[in-house]
Structure 1
Amino acid sequence: MTAALLVLGATSVRAEDVVMGASLPMAGPLAQFGEVIRDGYEYAVKEINDQGGVQVGDEKRLIKLIVLDNRGDPNQVAGQVRKLVQAEGASVLLGAVTPVFNGPLSAAADQLKVPLVMSLVPIDAWQDAREGGYKYAWDIYAHEPEATKVTWTTADMAETNKKVALFLNTDEDGEIWGRNWTEQASQAGYEVVYTARMPVGTTNFAEYINSAKQAGAEIALGQMVPPDAITLWKQMKALGYGPKLASCEKCGSGDWWPGALGDVAEGTLTSDVWVRGLGGPGVEGVVAALGEKHKGKVLSGAVLSHTVVNVVVDAIERAGTLEADAINAEIAKTDGDYAIGHVAFTVNHGAPLPPIMQQWQDGEAVQVYPVGAASADLQAPAKGLQ
């Protein structure tokens, strides 16, 4: 099936346009992310073009954004990247989501020697997918050792028996988050008493849930794709497993969570790198333009996508050319404030963002850590699973 093509920006590709290309999952288990990423890119491009475009040397050029729909199939990514670069003339590539898509994107960018800036993929899970790392790919997102530590800091705010069950997909994210949680637990004063590792697409979780119950785990931590985790949460409720704290990473990241689960979603924790009230230059515009369509936590994907485009534009303007190596060298020098906050590539080709913890309360994702004037009280036990 031919991939869908979405062209945004100037009405037709001209030799003088700055072409940016992306391969996004607009179908499949991560389609929700594909939509918000696309919308964030589209808004950023429109905003920049409305101001005259990108300064390249002595002239202003409009951005042409070309988005290919990989239909949730990572095997399509490499071919789509070649099309974007070789047929569409993309000077820069923009990322997708998770190692499943950003991994092959990064490998293709290195092979073709075209700069790629991405987000929504934890730094270690992305870097570990390729021995020796990447030369042309760059990631702006959470760094797992710090993101997983927020789990324990948040858990310290509740009374539990400190026994933990892990529910992990057998993908790169599940591997990295599971390893960090397991290694950090004892130092934080917790004990991982059960670990379930489940292929993406699992539908019957009874065995895993009953094992967690029998182990006496009052804390359940998940790193899963949304459809799997939604089914898991429903079965946890049906089987009477009511942990006092329940976290769902990646899975609990958007309005689809309370939308699919209703009251069962109440109290679910999920970490992030942004919440309304945080951020830097341009964040108000993103919230105003997309905040109604993408309510709740998933809006952070649009803020990150806006940041990605602006990091690329700043690098092009500093380079004064569309020559790949010159742009790549300037991306490396990034050290500034964007919609998501401060961005600097300090972990190899990764720009780690400070993590926060949110909790679904009354259909809204609210910040519960760090504790401050803008934070809500932690709900414990998590009402949805009681």
Structure 2
Amino acid sequence: MSDTSMGGINRRSLLKAVGLGAAAVGSTPLLSACGGLKGAGSSSSDVLKIGYVSPQTGPLAGFATADNFVVKQIQEAVKNGFTAGGKKRKIEIVVKDTQSNPNRATEVTRQLINSDKVDLIVGSSTPDTTNPVADQCEANGIPNVTTIAPWEAWFHGRNGKSGQGFKYTTLFFFGMQEFADCFFPMWNRIGVSNKNVAALWPNDTDANAFRQGLAPMMSKAGYTPVDGGAYQDVATDFTSQIAKFKNSGAELFTCTPIPPDFQTFWKQAQQQGFRPKLATVAKVMLFPSEAEALGPLANNIATDFWWSPAHPYKSTLDGRSAKQLADDFATSTGKQWTQALGSVYSLFEIAIQAFKDAGDPKDREEVASKLRNMKINCMSGDLDFTAGPEPGIAIQHPVGGQWRKGSKFPWDVVIVDNTPNKAVPIGGDLLPTNA
């Protein structure tokens, strides 16, 4: 994204593959070979079924690292059920893998609607997931909330009507203004000889939102975007972009590629002598696995952090803090926390709250209305779906963090700028990516 966070895979370049799973509260979940969770289901009206769609495999799989853990946590948190519509209810979660393919995302969402008969669908991670999932839900009248996609790419990418929004589909995340609020203060502080900003933006839904939205904001703030050109995802040679960036003398760098492309670009940039003073990247370097893949080249790359153990947020389901959730994830899996951990957790918090708020949680129109009008203080902070920028969109405010050598894990994040969200404490100084 980052933002993360998020968008377009070359659809022709990816094979379609199936990854299915189901997890029923009260059952004993088993990890399936395809990364989902299996368990006994129920067609009882006392059971509310939530479908969950994410890219558990493929180029975007880093976004889904915490999925199985989160599903288990939700199961545990509501194992005794909850009251909705005057009755005790239980939750069944059906997990689907998009294989990082937007066409597959459409297909598995249809399965959830037509075969699994879910009551509500949640989805996460890049417009390649959120948009096709939301489109199917809107077309079929299924309540839906998604996350980790810039709101412009989600809203305008689906031809949303300003002031009206959608009836069944909602989103919480942030957009170009929040990226600007996060990145520009770091640019202002680092000290550069010119205000040229090298921008690696491919030709996909996500990057085009940055090209059309963030670029004008950069210009208005006195910066000059140096667009490397709208290349196709899954590129292998970035020589022309690097040459353009070097010729511009840009000391600042930003981007919105898919993670494998950034790995390729960043290594080639170092080899070819493009070493910007500060890199503030979106959609990539959101997760520890990406820092580990780059090794020493990851040092002091900055990105947006909308969730971390340092964020002062708590669960609506069991009261645990963001730090406790991150620690529990590490203890349970042996892996390092990821930003998606908090986001995916909140998808289920919001879904369950909508069921609780509805007079009849099986009434799709009522549940969808509860989503559109929800205000909730949860693991992802204060979310207000009525506040806009468009109906049904709740905005988060990411802060700036940099990757540095860790102690418990190879790499860790240090929050270096909290201009957009003062509630998140600073953990260290902003340092040059390349001195």
The one-letter code sitting in structure 1 at the alignment partner of 2:368 is N
Q: TM-score, normalised by structure 2?
A: 0.83
Q: Is structure 2 residue 308 aligned with structure 1 residue 280?
A: no
1:344 maps to 384
2:429 maps to 377
The one-letter code sitting in structure 2 at the alignment partner of 1:184 is M
Aligned mates of 2:19, 2:220 — CA distance in 1:
49
Matches within 5 A, 1:166-245: 166-245=199-278
Summarize the Cα distance change of 1:154–1:294 in structure 2 as closer, same or farther, 3 Å threshold.
Answer: farther
Summarize the Cα distance change of 1:124–1:334 in structure 2 as closer, same or farther, 3 Å threshold.
Answer: same
The Cα of 1:62 is off from its aligned counterpart by 1.6
The one-letter code sitting in structure 2 at the alignment partner of 1:5 is L
Q: Is the 8 A contact 2:400 2:418 kept in 1?
A: yes
SS state at 2:355 partner: helix
2:59 maps to 29
Aligned mates of 1:294, 1:375 — CA distance in 2:
24
Q: Is the 8 A contact 2:56 2:97 kept in 1?
A: yes
SS state at 1:213 partner: helix
SS state at 1:6 partner: strand
Superposed CA offset, 1:271-324 (max 9, x none): 12122221422234422321454866x622111111111111111111032210
The one-letter code sitting in structure 2 at the alignment partner of 1:28 is G
Superposed CA offset, 1:91-136 (max 9, x none): 0001121111111101100111001111111111100112234221
2:92 maps to 64
Q: Is the 8 A contact 1:219 1:246 kept in 2?
A: yes
Q: Is the 8 A contact 2:145 2:169 kept in 1?
A: yes
Q: Is the 8 A contact 2:176 2:214 kept in 1?
A: no
The one-letter code sitting in structure 1 at the alignment partner of 2:413 is A
Percent identity, aligned pairs only, is 22
2:358 maps to 319
The Cα of 1:257 is off from its aligned counterpart by 1.9
Aligned mates of 1:291, 1:175 — CA distance in 2:
36
Q: 1:4 aligns with which of 19, 41, 47?
A: 19
The two structures, once aligned, show a CA RMSD in angstroms of: 1.9
Aligned mates of 1:266, 1:330 — CA distance in 2:
43
1:262 maps to 295
SS state at 2:96 partner: strand
2:31 maps to none
The Cα of 1:216 is off from its aligned counterpart by 0.6
Summarize the Cα distance change of 1:28–1:147 in structure 2 as closer, same or farther, 3 Å threshold.
Answer: same
SS state at 1:29 partner: coil
The one-letter code sitting in structure 2 at the alignment partner of 1:229 is F
Superposed CA offset, 1:220-257 (max 9, x none): 11111110001111001111111101122111111122
The Cα of 1:266 is off from its aligned counterpart by 0.6
The one-letter code sitting in structure 1 at the alignment partner of 2:374 is T
Q: Is structure 2 residue 329 aligned with structure 1 residue 290?
A: yes
The one-letter code sitting in structure 2 at the alignment partner of 1:323 is D
Q: 1:134 aligns with which of 159, 166, 170?
A: 166
Aligned mates of 2:226, 2:114 — CA distance in 1:
51
The Cα of 1:189 is off from its aligned counterpart by 2.4
Aligned mates of 2:294, 2:379 — CA distance in 1:
31
Uncovered stretches (5+) of structure 2, i.e. residues with no partner: 1-15, 28-39, 316-321, 406-410
Summarize the Cα distance change of 1:93–1:175 in structure 2 as closer, same or farther, 3 Å threshold.
Answer: same
SS state at 1:247 partner: strand
2:142 maps to 114
SS state at 2:65 partner: helix
1:147 maps to 179
SS state at 1:197 partner: coil
Aligned mates of 2:155, 2:335 — CA distance in 1:
30
Summarize the Cα distance change of 1:285–1:57 in structure 2 as closer, same or farther, 3 Å threshold.
Answer: farther
SS state at 2:273 partner: coil
Q: Is the 8 A contact 1:170 1:197 kept in 2?
A: yes
Q: Is structure 2 residue 112 aligned with structure 1 residue 84?
A: yes
The one-letter code sitting in structure 1 at the alignment partner of 2:259 is P
Q: Is the 8 A contact 2:309 2:323 kept in 1?
A: no
Aligned mates of 2:72, 2:174 — CA distance in 1:
23
SS state at 1:22 partner: strand
Uncovered stretches (5+) of structure 1, i.e. residues with no partner: none
SS state at 1:95 partner: strand
Compare 286-295 and 149-158 and name the one that shifted more. 286-295
2:33 maps to none
Superposed CA offset, 1:16-46 (max 9, x none): 3211112222221101112324433442233
2:41 maps to 13
Number of equivalent positions: 380
2:338 maps to 299
Q: TM-score, normalised by structure 1?
A: 0.93
SS state at 1:134 partner: coil
Summarize the Cα distance change of 1:295–1:212 in structure 2 as closer, same or farther, 3 Å threshold.
Answer: farther
SS state at 1:281 partner: coil
Aligned mates of 2:178, 2:216 — CA distance in 1:
13
Q: Is the 8 A contact 1:42 1:65 kept in 2?
A: no
2:11 maps to none
Q: Is structure 2 residue 394 aligned with structure 1 residue 366?
A: no
Q: 2:369 aligns with which of 329, 341, 355?
A: 329
Summarize the Cα distance change of 1:294–1:100 in structure 2 as closer, same or farther, 3 Å threshold.
Answer: farther
Compare 170-179 and 107-116 and name the one that shifted more. 170-179
